[in-house]
Amino acid sequence: MKKIFLWLILGIILIACGSWFYYDKEINIKHKYNKILEIKSGEPVKKAFGTLGLDNNLIFKIYLKLHNEGKNIKAGYYQITGNYSMVEIINILESGREKLFKLTIPEGYSNNEIIEILEKNGFGNKEKFEEASKEIKNFPYLTPNNNFEGYLYPNTYFIRENATMKDIIQVMLREFLKKFPSDKYPDKEEFYKKLIMASIIEREAKLPKEKPLMASVFYNRLKKNMTLSSDATVNYVYDYKKRRMYYKDLKIDSPYNTYKYKGLPPGPISNPDANSINAALNPAETDYLFFVAVAGDGSHYFTRTYKEHLEIQKKYRNNK
């Protein structure tokens, strides 16, 4: 009986040692990751690890339980890219290393509007933005006077919390170059003109399906030596502070006033998305010369003559 008991104890010890060896091995095995992990304040941390495929891993659950149940993990966004073990991932999240800031740049924002977002989030002011812009060299497209208006691609970015203003600008520029590689567009002057057009389309069009139509309107007006007459280009002069443009606003003397001056404005008036740029590069073939927004869903009526244009406006006013 005593011998059986000793064998039983020995068996338990061997099983325990084997289990510990397996456990220690598993928590230190490295796996490859390329994920953004969000840890939300006040939520169970186990839920967040679904992004990494660890939420149902028994060994990970045990490790988390033994490791204070993740109570020392800091909330935020983390870039988990590379080969990491469970132990290393928890160490990263507890130390706050690789912590990221979520930065969303809406479509059609101007540089000044983007600067306001950056300033609100503590990344610097307009002066720092302009200083950082001057430090960026070898960008393959035209940037008159270090003006990157049009190239700061609208997207949601995850940026290191200690990133500089230059780092942030470069992240957006790299995203632009991913969408529009410079070797694909050898004529940089022509591309810049298309970018200016895209920036106008971005501010005027609400629906992606209308963007090629709107591009055709503006190109048709240029061909006929008409003014573009875009409210958006004038509002750019006012930093988009005007909720509505009045006749007196359209009298401002600026090269961006496309009611007053023919042709394209001297530079982009916003940072357009790929849909707007592609519309400027590949406009629809129409004979439209006018458009008017009359529907609540942001859609427009497109017309060929000024007479039709006035009739649509009148009809809309009467139906209000």
Residue ranges per structural domain of the chain: 24-97, 108-182, 189-319
pLDDT score for 298: 85
Coil, helix or strand at residue 40 = coil
pLDDT band of residue 200 (cuts 50, 70, 90) is: very high
Asked if 55 and 97 count as a contact pair (C-beta separation under 8 A), the reply is: no
| Centroid of chain to Cα 300 | 26
The pLDDT of residue 18 is above 70: no
Q: What percent of the chain has pLDDT over 70?
A: 90
pLDDT band of residue 25 (cuts 50, 70, 90) is: low
pLDDT score for 61: 80
CA neighbor of 142 nearest in space, from 192, 193, 198, 200: 192
The pLDDT of residue 7 is above 80: no
What pLDDT, in 10s, does the model give residues 256-310?
Answer: 999 999 999 999 999 999 999 999 999 999 999 999 987 778 899 999 999 998 8
pLDDT score for 21: 46
Its pTM stands at 0.85
Which architecture, in CATH terms, is 24-97? 2-Layer Sandwich (3.30)
CA neighbor of 240 nearest in space, from 251, 248, 252, 231: 231
The pLDDT of residue 184 is above 90: yes
The pLDDT of residue 70 is above 60: yes
- DSSP for 206-247 reads SSGGGHHHHHHHHHHHHHTT-----HHHHHHHTTT--SS--T
What pLDDT, in 10s, does the model give residues 122-181?
Answer: 898 999 999 999 999 999 999 999 999 999 999 999 998 889 999 999 999 999 999 999
Strands 76-84 and 99-104: antiparallel
